[in-house]
A = this chain, B = another copy of it.
């Protein structure tokens, strides 16, 4: 048997600890928006570390948008909640309303992406989509290869929009959705589903190939509606079928750690 040691016993860097500590101060309101942080030297002495470590911590918080600093003046807590990075809490996604929100957002992006792709796609884009579709045909429904090809199809649609951020955002959102679905583990598989899903993709590709933006939108919308059904969401208020909801044995990846950190922050 193989030992399963904790992958990262790597003690957190001092800068991480300092950053967490400052972050906690902000979260708990002891440092209010607009407040000026102590000077780097002061922080260094109070934490018992070098000013260098403090600077790395501040650099991190600054990159997260929590604080901003100006040479010659000091560092301040950001007034508006204006993060420069966008994160999605894994745990929050376990709640149905959050999941629905994200799914809806994904739908908006995908549908518009399909329309843009229909207008701007190149032959290379079409080839990439076709290849991804072939990959889906070759793989069993729901397998890792199938999922990868599915993702690849949507990624190539996003790429065909010629909009860098569209691809970035879409991949980001889709990944979160996919993770959440995998964690729920209530996907039911059947050969019918494979056929139906493939058909949906083919219609999308056909519309994009024909440069028919409206048709591409519709096809993508249908596809997402179908996908929603397949994962147990329904567009109407009613839940379609009580999803078989058992065992989610190993889904939570970092939740324990996150919980621990949050507890620390709360204390």
> What residues of chain A have their CB less than 8 Å away from a CB belonging to chain B?
10, 13, 15-16, 19, 52, 55-56, 59-60, 63-64, 70, 82-88, 91-92, 94-102, 104-105, 107-109, 111-112, 115-116, 119, 162-166, 168-169, 171-173, 175, 183-186, 213, 217, 221, 224-225, 232-237, 239-254, 256-258, 260-265, 267
Given contacts A101-B162, A108-B108, could you give 4 more A-B pairs where the C-beta distance is less than 8 Å? A94-B262, A96-B262, A111-B246, A236-B249
Interchain CB contact under 8 A, B239 and A235:
no
Which of these, B52, B82, B166, B251, contacts A175 with CB under 8 Å?
A: B82
Interchain CB contact under 8 A, B59 and A15:
yes
Interchain CB contact under 8 A, A253 and B235:
no
Residue on B nearest A265 in the bound complex, by CB = B94
For the complex, what is the distance from the CA of A70 to the CA of B264, rounded to whole Å? 25
Across-interface contacts of A221 in B (CB, < 8 A): 244, 246
Interchain CB contact under 8 A, A105 and B166:
yes
Known: A102-B165, A109-B108. A261 touches B240 (CB 8 A): no
How many copies of this chain sit in the oligomeric assembly? Answer: 2
Across-interface contacts of A254 in B (CB, < 8 A): 96-97, 100, 237, 239
Interchain CB contact under 8 A, B261 and A242:
no
Interchain CB contact under 8 A, A235 and B252:
no
Residue on B nearest A86 in the bound complex, by CB = B86
Do most interface residues of chain A lie in helix, strand or loop, or is the interface mixed?
Answer: helix
Residue on B nearest A83 in the bound complex, by CB = B172
Interchain CB contact under 8 A, A240 and B115:
yes
For the complex, what is the distance from the CA of A88 to the CA of B83, rounded to whole Å? 11
Which of these, B119, B237, B240, B246, contacts A250 with CB under 8 Å?
A: B237
Residue on B nearest A84 in the bound complex, by CB = B87
25 contacts between A and B (CB under 8 A): A10-B70, A56-B59, A60-B63, A83-B172, A85-B86, A85-B87, A88-B165, A95-B258, A95-B262, A97-B164, A100-B254, A101-B166, A104-B166, A108-B109, A108-B112, A169-B169, A213-B241, A217-B244, A233-B257, A235-B248, A239-B254, A239-B256, A245-B260, A246-B264, A247-B267
